[in-house]
Amino acid sequence: MLIPEGRIKPVDCIAFSPDGKMLVSGGRELAIWVWDVETGSALFGSLKGPLRQIESLAFSPAGKRAVTGGYLVWDART
């Protein structure tokens, strides 16, 4: 997996999309990264927003939505 420029803090949690094509990661940098599993490239860059460390991530069963720590829901495709 490639590390985006400027990314230095460790990843604390990951989740795979139901189809296995995307991976989201989060941690102490207070951001979410969306990755292409096949290429290892960041798809959408950094999704800023959470005000605290991201400790858990999950996708909806259809893979259209993702949630972080149970308090932030976002569209995983955009």
- Asked whether residue 1 carries a pLDDT value surpassing 60, the answer given is no
Dump the DSSP string for 43-58: EEEEEE--SS----EE
Higher pLDDT, 12 or 31: 12
Q: How far apart are CA 50 and CA 71, in angstroms?
A: 9
Read off the pLDDT of residues 19-50 as tens digits, 9 standing for 90 and up.
Answer: 999 998 888 777 778 889 999 888 876 655 55
pLDDT value, residue 18: 94
Higher pLDDT, 71 or 66: 66
Q: How far is CA 37 from CA 1, 16, 24, in A?
A: 8, 9, 10
Q: Predicted confidence band at 65 (pLDDT cuts at 50, 70, 90)?
A: confident
